[in-house]
Structure 1
Amino acid sequence: MPHLSSNKIFSQSAKQFWQTWLFAFIWNAITWFAIIKGGHNILRAFEENPVFYFFVLFPFIGLWTIIIAIQQTLAWYKFGKTPVILNPSPGQVGGRCSGYITLPETAKEAKRAILSLSCIRSYIYRSNDGKSSQREQAIWQDQISIRPEKYGRKRTRLNFVFKPPANLPATEQESDDYHLWRLQVRIPLPGIDYDRNFELPMEKPDEQIVVTHRYAQTQTSSTIAHRETKAGSIPQINKTSAGTEFYYGYGREKVMAIIIMLFGLGLAVLGYFFFHDFLNFLPVTAGLMVAYIGFIALALFLLGVFMLANSLTVEVSLEGIHNNKTTHLWLFT
C-alpha cells in the first residue's frame, strides 16, 4: 500500500528493471553454463531426438530478456523518478482523484498522454490440486487522453482528474484478498515511450470533505479525443437490482491474443518440419509427436480466439463479486 503520509507517489520502475536484470542474468548464466559444460551431450541429444531442438530457443529467450532490461534501464534514466503528486491526498472514492506529473525535458515532444485509473482486486487463487497463484481482476476502470502542457522553460506537466464512483472499495493493506488502485500513464514519444504504473492511496472521505472539494477549483490539462482506445478496456456501468454491473466488451487483450495465436501457428509449423522426415521409418513415434504438438498448437490458437471474442460481465453486490464471460463467435463469420 502506498505511504499515506505523503502526497508524492513513486512508480515501481526502478525495482522492475533491477528485477528484469536479475532474471536475465540467472537465465543466461544457467543456459550458457549448460551449453559450455554439456556441448557434446547436447549435440548427441539433438541427433537422437529432434525434439531437443526446442532448447535452441533458450539463448534467444535470454537475449530477449537482456533487450527488455536495457529498454527498461534506458527509460528509467531518460525520464527519472517522475512521481505523481496527489491533490487531495489520499484520492477520494466518490469524490475525485486528481494531481499532476512533472516530466523532464526529454518529454518535451509529447503530443498526448493516455491515463488509465483502475480499481483492482488482488487475491490468491487456490486450485483443486492445492496449487496457488496470485491473480488480479479489474472491477472498474476509467481512461482519459490529455494534452501535456509546458511547465517552466524545459519541463512538461500533466494535470489529471478522475471521479471514481462511491460504491467502490478504498485502498486496502496487502493480504490474500485485497483491493488496490493503479494509475497507468502512457506517453508516445520518439524512441522510448513513457509508460509507468503508480499504486495510489484511495479512501472513502467524509461527506463534508467531498462537498468541500466539489466547490474547489481543480486544474486539469485539456482533454483530447482518444486515438488509441482498446476495445472493451473501459466498462459500461449499469445499476441492477442486486448491485452494480460492469460490462467489458470483446477485444480487451487484443495484442496478447494475437501473439498467442501466432505462437500456436508457429509451433504447428515447427513440429511439422521437425518430424516430417521421420514419418517414413518411425511412423508411430513421429505420428504421436506430431499429434501431441498439434494438439498444443491448436489449444493455443483457440485460446487466442477466445481472448479476442469474449466479453466479461462483473456484478458487484452484497453477496460478493460474480463473473460471466460470453463468447462472440460471430466476429469470425
Structure 2
Amino acid sequence: MNDTPWLEKKAWAKNQITSYTKIQLIISYVFSVIWSWICYGLYIKRDELLANASEEPAVYLLLLFPLSLIAILFQTYKQYSLWRTIGPMPLSLDPFPGAIGGHVGGKIACKLAHHSEMSARVKLLCIKRTHSNNSSNSGVREHVEWENDGVCHVQANSGGCDIRFRFDVQEGLPPSGRVENSKTNVIWRVELEIDDKIQRLYEIPVFESGEKSQHICHGTETYEATGFAAGEALSGIAQLKRTADKSTIYFAPFKRPLNGVLLVLIGVLFASIGIIVDMNDAPMIFGIVFPLIGLGLALAGLQYLGKALLVTIDSENLKSQRLYFGISFSSQSLPIKDIQSFYLKGGATVSYGTKTTTYYQLFTVGKNAQKYRVAERLNSRSEANKVEKTICEIVSAYKR
C-alpha cells in the first residue's frame, strides 16, 4: 500500500494546485464554436425560414439564437480577459496534504491588486460522489459529508496579493480517493469567491495525519471578519429583538426566495403545458396529470415563500411558532430548564456553476429527545454557527 498516494497525482505532486478555470475556458470555447456553426446554418437558410414563419410562428424563436450567441461570446471573452489579468491562481496547501484531525489550509497567489475593501470568501467541502450504472438508477450522485466556510485573510504583496485560509478538520471524516469495495469517490473541494465576481474551484488532497499548519497562524472559522459577514447575512433573513423580559428571533417570509420562485414557475409551466395539450386533442390523461403536478409544485413554492418562524425565549420557556403569510399554524413550547443541546441539520444542497450551497436548520433538543426548530434558511455553516452561538448565549443568560 502506497503511503503517499497524493504524490501519484500529477496535479497534486508539486503542491501547486490549479483551479478548474482553464478547463471551463476550453469548454466555453468549444461551445461557442458549435453555437456559431448552428447560427451560421440558420443564416444560410434565413429566406426559407422566414417564408415559413407565417404558417409556423414558432420559427421566429430561432431568431433568438443569434442573440444568445452574442451573450455566449461576450461571456467567453470576459472569462478569457479575467484569466489573462489574474492568472491561474495556484493553491499551495499548508500542511501538504490537508490533514484530517488537524488543519486544512493554504495560500493562493493572486495577481489582483489588493484594496482596502477586498473580500475573499472560501468554502471547504468533503463530498461523496457515487456512480450508479444500474438500469433503474444511472448517473452520478453527490452528497456533502462535511463543510465549513469563512472569510480569508488577504495580504498585499509586490505582485498582487496572497489569500490565506485554514480550517480545523475533525477526526473520522473520509480521506480523498475511492472508498474501498464501492463505487464512491471522496472529493475534498475548495471554493473561492473574490469580491462576488471571481470564482475558483480546486480539488485538493486530504488524508488522515493530524498535521498542523506551519505558516498560517489564524483559523478562518474563528476570524473576526467571518463572524461579521455571517451576522450581516443573518440580518437579511432574521430580526433579533432583546429586552430584559424576553428575546425574539423572527425568520420572516419571502427571504431567500429563489427555491420558492423556481417551484412556482415550474408549476405554472407544467399546468400551462397540460392546458395546451388538452386544447389540441391530446389524450385526456395529459390534460389532467400535468395541471395537477403543476398545481402541487406551485402550492409547494407558495408554501416555501410564505412560511415564517418566530422563536421567543424568556426566563421560563422557549417557544417556536410556525406561521404562513403572517397566520400562526402551530407552536411548540419547551421549558428552558429542559434544554439539553442544539442540533444542526443539513438539508437540500444546490450546486450552481462553481458554487455549492447547503441549507441548514437548527433545532434544540429537550429532555424527551424531541426536537424544536429554532432557525431555518441558513445557507452557510458560518451562518449556522453564528445563530447557534447567539441562541446559546440568550438561553444561558435566562438560565442563570
TM-score range, shorter chain: 0.5 to 0.7
DSSP-derived class of the 1:159 partner: strand
In 2: Cα distance, 1:197 partner to 1:261 partner? 28
Work out the percentage of aligned pairs sharing the same amino acid: 20
The correspondence for 1:158, drawn from 163, 170, 177, is 163
Shift of 1:18: 1.5
Measure, in 1, the Cα distance between the counterparts of 2:31 and 2:66. 13
Matched with 2:259 is 257
Q: Which amino acid aligns with 1:260?
A: L
| Matched letter for residue 217 of structure 2 | Q
**Which one scores higher on RCO, CA 8 angstroms, separation ≥ 6?**
1
1:36 maps to 44
Aligned to 1:202: 206
Counterpart for residue 213 of structure 1? 212
2:77 match: 70
Q: Which residue of 1 aligns with 2:150?
A: 144
Task: Give the Cα–Cα distance (whole angstroms) in 2 for the partners of residues 60 and 125 of structure 1.
Answer: 38
Q: In the TM superposition, what is the alpha-carbon distance from 1:48 to its structure 2 partner? A: 2.9
Counterpart residue number, 1:87:
94
Q: How far apart are the structure 1 equivalents of 2:192 and 2:93?
A: 14
* Superimposed CA distance per residue, residues 217-261 of structure 1 (whole angstroms, 9 cap, x where no aligned partner): 633375413536888xxxxxxxxxxxxxxxxxxx9xx58636735
Counterpart residue number, 2:139: 133
Displacement of 1:102 in angstroms is: 2.1
Alignment partner of 2:44: what SS? Answer: helix
Aligned partner of 1:187 in structure 2 is 194
Q: Within the alignment, does 1:47 sit opposite 2:42 as a pair?
A: no
Change (3 A) 1:71 1:36: same
Shift in alpha-carbon separation, 1:203–1:122, aligned structure 2, 3 A: same
From 159, 170, 184, give the equivalent of 1:177: 184
What TM-score comes out, normalization by structure 1 length?
Answer: 0.65
Q: Supply the AA of the counterpart residue of 1:257.
A: N
In our comparison, the structure showing a higher alpha carbon Rg is 2
Aligned to 2:29: 21
CA distance in structure 1 between the partners assigned to 2:15 and 2:257 by the alignment: 34
The separation in 2 between residues aligned to 1:150 and 1:129, in whole angstroms, is: 54
In the TM superposition, what is the alpha-carbon distance from 1:23 to its structure 2 partner? 0.9
Please list the CA deviations of residues 112-138 of structure 1 after superposition, one character each: whole Å capped at 9, or x if unmatched: 2111000111222457557x3333221
Give the match for residue 104 of structure 2.
97
Shift of 1:38: 5.5
Residues paired across the two proteins, number: 278
Matched, 1:111 2:118: yes
Give yes or no for contact 1:6–1:89 (8 Å, CA) kept in 2.
no
Amino acid paired to 1:134: V
Distance 2:30 2:62 in 1: 21
Query: What RMSD in Å do the two structures reach over aligned CA positions?
Result: 4.5
